Structure 1
Amino acid sequence: MRTPALASVALAALLLTGCSGGDPAPTAAGPTPAVAGSAATTTEKPTDTALAEDTEAICAQASRTSTSFGTTFAEDHQLLTKAAAEGAEAKAKAREKVTRDVENFSFALLDMSKLASDAELKKALAAMGAQITALKGDVAKIDDKKLAALHATLDKACGRG
């Protein structure tokens, strides 16, 4: 791998980690709200409709997803570098994992775009998902500038930039 690519990876991970802006993901161990008129307690799960109206929640989830991908992106570059030295089979397995990681990020963005009711956020998430989909799993086509631009798009749509 090229040295500039490794610098890009480190910068991209730093940029995305610094730009998360969202609250930490809720955990299953959190409090369980009581249901009115019931002696038992249940965990209430928000519906897609409720989430669609909650632009802030979608923005927070998109930020967490982007930050997670920044970390995964850096790890995938390291994996590819290591696999290149280990032979063809290791390299093929690493490429499969990297392709899957990029596709998962793209699918997540596109799914959130379908859920969002805010037009600007919907458009931003769809554009981001399309840009990642166009990479076809090739992380060599991603650099710090592209990742920063993607996150800037999200921040703008979420009123943070």
Structure 2
Amino acid sequence: MATAKTGSQSGQNWNPNLGAAELSSLIGTLGKIEQQMPYLVGLSRGERRKLPKVGPLTRSFVADAVTTAQANPGLLPRSIDISSLRSRADTLDRLGEVRRAVSQFLEKVDDTEVLLASEVYAAARTVYAVMKTPAAVPGLKDRQDRLAQRFARKKGSRKAEEPLAVKPVE
């Protein structure tokens, strides 16, 4: 895996390229991971709200209770399967590890998307600025007008965003 990079990755050494075949492979791999976890569920917001919140303190309570139950099986009603309870608690811990790894990965995907979008947007603004110069290729007025909509002021809005200024070539 590539090492984490900080700051702007612009330049010759950073050239992200996600082709259609690679995208398909990545999506397929995510599908395979999901197949390995057939017990995953999707909850609605309402369903989530109805469930008790389980943070670090509650998880510690759960771990202590499960350990106590294992050490004292006679305390519990027979309807509670202690080995199943232990298995579920262990699965909960392991899911936490998976969630942390996926969160770190998703953060890198998000950061890469933000940086790449910023770089592409800066280049697009330069294209637009060049199109507004007298040296621009004739016949691109329709495209220039379409691009200009991005910087048009809307009623009730403050100052529209200004594109990069480019000096005409003399």
TM-score (norm 1): 0.31
Considering fraction of residues, name the structure with more helix.
1
Over alpha carbons, which structure has the higher Rg? 2
